[in-house]
Structure 1
Amino acid sequence: MLQVNTPEQSMIIRTAEQVGEKYGLEYWRQCDQEKRFPAEFWKEVCEAGLCGVALPEEHGGAGFGMVEMALVIEALSMSGGGATVAQLFMLNPIFGGVAISKFGTDEMKSQWLPQLVSGDMQFCMALTEPDAGSNSLSISTVARRDGDGWRLSGNKVWITGVPEAQKMLVVARTTPADQVQRKTDGISLFLIDTDREGLSHTAIDKLGTNTLTSSSVYFDDVPVHASDLVGTLDAGWPQLLEVLNGERIVTTAGLSGTSRLATGLAVDYANDRKVFGNRPIASYQGLQFPLAQAHALNECARLMNLRAAQLCDDNLPYGSEANAAKLIAAQAAAMATERSMQTMGGMGYSKEFHVERLWRDARLFRFAPISEEMVLNFIAQHDLGMARSY
C-alpha cells in the first residue's frame, strides 16, 4: 500500500521546499529571460542531497526510491521553476543515475555516481533522431567496430542539456537492422565524453524551457572505447526502456508541481482583483470552475504517478500507470496554465506575472518525452487489448 508523507518523506519534502524558497519566481524569470542554465539552483539541490535521493547509498545517494524523487520534484517545481525542474532530474538521476546504477560497470558506479550526486558531473542522453522521432527502433546512428571499440556516426535532435554535460548516454545501432532476428536486437548504449573529437552540437531556437538548451548533435566518426559500453552489447533496448519509464514519472512530477503553482498564482490574483463593484473576481464561477477542473485532473494524475513510482520501487510493472499519469498531468498543466492566464486577463500575458513562462514550458510535455497520441496507442493496445495501430 502506498504511504506518502512518512516521517522520512516529510523531511525530504521540507528540505526541497527550503531549497526552492531560495530560488523563487523572479530567479526563474531571470534565467528564462537570459536563457541561462540554473546553476546556482542545481548546485544547492545537489548539496542538499536531493539529486541522489533515489540513488544507492554506497555511491553517495540517499537510498530511497522513485516515490521520494517524485515528491522532491513536485516541491521544487512548485517553488517557481515549474516543469523545467523535472528536466534537470531527467538528465542526471535518470539518464545518468539509472543507466549507471542499474547497468553500468563497478568502475562506472564508483567513479561517476558520486560526481553525479554532488553535482560535479552533468549528464544528457542522445536518443531522438530527425527521421525516427517516436519510432526509436528505426534509429540510424551507428557504432561500427574499430578494434576493441567502435566509431560512432549519425545525427540526433532535440537533445537537452548538452552544453553543460560532461557525459552523454548515446543510443546507437551496433548491428544493422537487416542482420538481427528481432527489431529490438542490435541496439546498444554508450556513455561518452561530450568533448570527444568528432562530436559537435548546435542549439535549437525554441518557444520555452529556455533554461536548458536543446541541440542537434552530430557524430562524425567519434571514437568510442570498450569501457564506454553501458549494459549488454546489442541488447540495450530493454535497458533503454528502464531508463525511459523512469523519465515518465519525473516528467509527471514536474507537471503536477506546475499545475499547483499556476493555479495558486491565479487564485491569489483573483482574490485580490476587484471589478464591477467590490467583489473579488474569485467569486465568479466562470473563473472558479476551470481552475477547479484543472485541480481535480492534476490530483488524479499526481496519485496515479505516485502509484507508478511505488510499483517501480517494488520492482513491479508500472508502464501503464506511468503513461496514464503523464497523459493526464500534461493536460492538467495545459489547462491550469491557460486558465490562470485567462484569470489574470492582460496581466497573464506579461512576464511580470510568471504564468506565461509556466505555460510555455509546460506545453512541451504534451508531446515530450512521449506524445499524447503514443500514450493513447499504448493504452489501447496494452490496457484495452486492441490491435496495434501504428
Structure 2
Amino acid sequence: MDFSLTEEQQMMVETASRIGTEFGLNYWRDLDGRKAFPTELWQAICDAGLCGVALPEEYGGSNLGMLDMALVVEALSQGGGGSTLGQLFMVNPIFGGVSLSKFGTAHQCKELIPKLITGELNFCMALTEPDAGSNTLEMKTFAERDGDGWRLRGQKIWITAVPTSQKMLVVARTKRIEETTRRTQGISMFMVDTDREGLSHSAIDKVGTATLPSSSVFFDNVRVEPDELLGTLDNGWPELLEVLNTERIVTTAGLVGAGRLAIQLAVQYANDRKVFGGRPVGSYQGVQFPLAQAYAELECARLMNYRAANNCDRGLPYGSDANVGKLIAAQAAADATERSMQAMGGMGYSKEYHVERLWRDARLFRFAPVAEEMVLNFIAVHDLGMPKSY
C-alpha cells in the first residue's frame, strides 16, 4: 500500500504546517491559560479550505477523503496545537460534516454544510451519558413523539465544545429497549440548535484540553422539529458507528502530531542542554532510547491510521484499523509526552517549554473518545473471534 503524497496532498500538508506554526506554541499556551476557544486559528483553517477537505464539492468542500483529512490534522497538530487540534476536526468536519454529508437530507446539507466549511457554524455531539458511559446502548435520553416532531428528555456528560457550538448532534432512543427485538434498534440522531429552549449545559472542570470545554448537557422537554431528524428513524445505530469510526481517524492524527511535536521539543532541549563535562544530554542513551521508542510507536500508529483512512475512502471495512490506530496512538502519545518531559528534567514541568500542556491534553485520549479497554474488547471479539467478555 503506497502512501506517497500526491502533489495536491503535499500542498495541503504544507499549508496545514504553515497555519499550525503561525498559530504555534505560544498561541496555544495563551489560550490554555485563558481557557479560550481557538477562534482565530479555526477561521484560518476554514479560510484555507482545510475544514472541508473531505466534504462534498457541491457544498463548498474539496471532495477528497479521510486520508487527506488525517494528513491535515497531523500537520496542524505538530505545528503547535497538539492532540486538541484533532478535537476541532472531530466536532466540526466529523460530527457536523460527515454526519450530514452521509445521512442528511439534501435540504439539511445545503443549509448547514456550507456554513460549517466557512466557519460560520460550529458543531458538537451529545452521546455519552452518566449512567451508560461506553455502553452506549444503555442510553436513557429519550425522544418522545410530539405531533409531527419529538420532545427530548435526558442528560449527557463529557460533551465537547458545547458553549462554542450552534448545532448539536443528539443521539437518543426513540423506542424503549423493551419495545425492540435488538438493543441496537430504536436509536435515532437529531441535529438541533444548541440554544434551543429547554437545553442547558454546565462546564466540567478538568485537567487538560482547556481550550475546548467539556459540559454536562440537560434536555428538559426540548422540542425537536421533523426536519431535524438526521438519518433513519429508529435505525440510526449503524449510521452512528460510521460517524464514530471516522472520529477515531482524526483523533489518531491529532495524537500522532502531538507526540511528534513533544519529541521534537525534547530533542531540541536535550541537544542544547550540556552537563557533566559539556556533553549534551541528548548524547546519552538513557535519554535517546525512550524518545526513539516513542517515535517508533507513533510511526506504527500513523501507518495504521493511514490504512484505516484509505480503506474508508475506498468503501472497505476500516473500523478495526481505526480502533487499533487510536489505541496505539493514545499510548504512544502518552509515552512521547511523558518521556519528553523526563528528558527535559525540571523544565519539562514548566509551562515555558510547552510539553506539560501536550502531556495534559494527550492523557484524555487513553479513555476518550473510546477507552483503550473497550478497544481491546473489540479486537478480542471481532478480530480474534473470542467470546464477549462484558
2:357 corresponds to which residue? Answer: 357
Determine if the alignment matches structure 1 residue 31 to structure 2 residue 24: no
1:374 corresponds to which residue? Answer: 374
* Secondary structure at 1:333 match in 2: helix
1:127 corresponds to which residue? Answer: 127
Determine if the alignment matches structure 1 residue 289 to structure 2 residue 251: no
In the alignment, the residues of structure 2 paired with residue 137 and residue 98 of structure 1 have an alpha-carbon distance, to the nearest angstrom, of: 22
The one-character-per-residue Cα deviations of 1:302-334 (angstroms, maximum 9, x if unpaired) are 000000000000010001111111111011100
* Secondary structure at 1:387 match in 2: coil
Q: Which amino acid in 2 is paired with 1:218? A: F
The one-character-per-residue Cα deviations of 1:120-162 (angstroms, maximum 9, x if unpaired) are 0000000000000000000000000000000000000000000
In the alignment, the residues of structure 2 paired with residue 20 and residue 293 of structure 1 have an alpha-carbon distance, to the nearest angstrom, of: 26
Q: Contact 1:304 / 1:324 at 8 angstroms: preserved in 2?
A: yes
Q: How many residues align?
A: 390
In the alignment, the residues of structure 1 paired with residue 77 and residue 310 of structure 2 have an alpha-carbon distance, to the nearest angstrom, of: 20
2:192 corresponds to which residue? Answer: 192
In the alignment, the residues of structure 1 paired with residue 122 and residue 181 of structure 2 have an alpha-carbon distance, to the nearest angstrom, of: 36
* Paired-residue identity, %: 68
In the alignment, the residues of structure 2 paired with residue 144 and residue 386 of structure 1 have an alpha-carbon distance, to the nearest angstrom, of: 38
In the alignment, the residues of structure 2 paired with residue 143 and residue 63 of structure 1 have an alpha-carbon distance, to the nearest angstrom, of: 34
* Secondary structure at 1:61 match in 2: coil
Gaps of 5+ in 1: none
Q: Contact 1:2 / 1:310 at 8 angstroms: preserved in 2?
A: no
In the alignment, the residues of structure 2 paired with residue 273 and residue 170 of structure 1 have an alpha-carbon distance, to the nearest angstrom, of: 51
Determine if the alignment matches structure 1 residue 58 to structure 2 residue 55: no
Determine if the alignment matches structure 1 residue 75 to structure 2 residue 80: no
Offset at 1:4? 3.2
1:264 corresponds to which residue? Answer: 264
1:317 corresponds to which residue? Answer: 317
The one-character-per-residue Cα deviations of 1:229-272 (angstroms, maximum 9, x if unpaired) are 00010000000000000000010000000110000000000000
Moved over 4 A (4+): none
In the alignment, the residues of structure 2 paired with residue 22 and residue 33 of structure 1 have an alpha-carbon distance, to the nearest angstrom, of: 19
CA RMSD of aligned residues (A): 0.5
In the alignment, the residues of structure 1 paired with residue 313 and residue 280 of structure 2 have an alpha-carbon distance, to the nearest angstrom, of: 45
Q: Write the mapping of 1:29-178 to structure 2, written as runs, cut at 5 A.
A: 29-178=29-178
* Secondary structure at 1:20 match in 2: helix
Offset at 1:178? 0.3
Q: Which amino acid in 2 is paired with 1:110? A: K
2:204 corresponds to which residue? Answer: 204
* Secondary structure at 2:221 match in 1: strand
Offset at 1:17? 1.1
Determine if the alignment matches structure 1 residue 338 to structure 2 residue 333: no
* Secondary structure at 2:215 match in 1: strand
The one-character-per-residue Cα deviations of 1:80-99 (angstroms, maximum 9, x if unpaired) are 10000000000000000011
* Secondary structure at 1:216 match in 2: strand
Offset at 1:30? 0.3
Offset at 1:3? 2.9
Offset at 1:19? 1.0
In the alignment, the residues of structure 1 paired with residue 146 and residue 242 of structure 2 have an alpha-carbon distance, to the nearest angstrom, of: 28
* Secondary structure at 2:37 match in 1: coil
Q: Which amino acid in 1 is paired with 2:277? A: G
Q: Contact 1:2 / 1:307 at 8 angstroms: preserved in 2?
A: no
The one-character-per-residue Cα deviations of 1:15-54 (angstroms, maximum 9, x if unpaired) are 1011112101000000000000000000000000000000
Gaps of 5+ in 2: none
In the alignment, the residues of structure 1 paired with residue 199 and residue 4 of structure 2 have an alpha-carbon distance, to the nearest angstrom, of: 44
Q: Which amino acid in 2 is paired with 1:165? A: S
* Secondary structure at 1:320 match in 2: helix
* Secondary structure at 2:344 match in 1: helix
TM-score, with length taken from structure 2: 0.99
In the alignment, the residues of structure 2 paired with residue 283 and residue 361 of structure 1 have an alpha-carbon distance, to the nearest angstrom, of: 29
Determine if the alignment matches structure 1 residue 230 to structure 2 residue 230: yes
In the alignment, the residues of structure 2 paired with residue 234 and residue 314 of structure 1 have an alpha-carbon distance, to the nearest angstrom, of: 28
In the alignment, the residues of structure 2 paired with residue 87 and residue 129 of structure 1 have an alpha-carbon distance, to the nearest angstrom, of: 19
In the alignment, the residues of structure 2 paired with residue 345 and residue 17 of structure 1 have an alpha-carbon distance, to the nearest angstrom, of: 28
* Secondary structure at 1:140 match in 2: coil
1:254 corresponds to which residue? Answer: 254
Q: Which amino acid in 1 is paired with 2:109? A: K
Q: Contact 1:53 / 1:65 at 8 angstroms: preserved in 2?
A: yes
Determine if the alignment matches structure 1 residue 303 to structure 2 residue 303: yes
Q: Which amino acid in 1 is paired with 2:237? A: W
Q: Which amino acid in 2 is paired with 1:78? A: Q
In the alignment, the residues of structure 2 paired with residue 360 and residue 279 of structure 1 have an alpha-carbon distance, to the nearest angstrom, of: 31
1:239 corresponds to which residue? Answer: 239
In the alignment, the residues of structure 1 paired with residue 103 and residue 328 of structure 2 have an alpha-carbon distance, to the nearest angstrom, of: 31
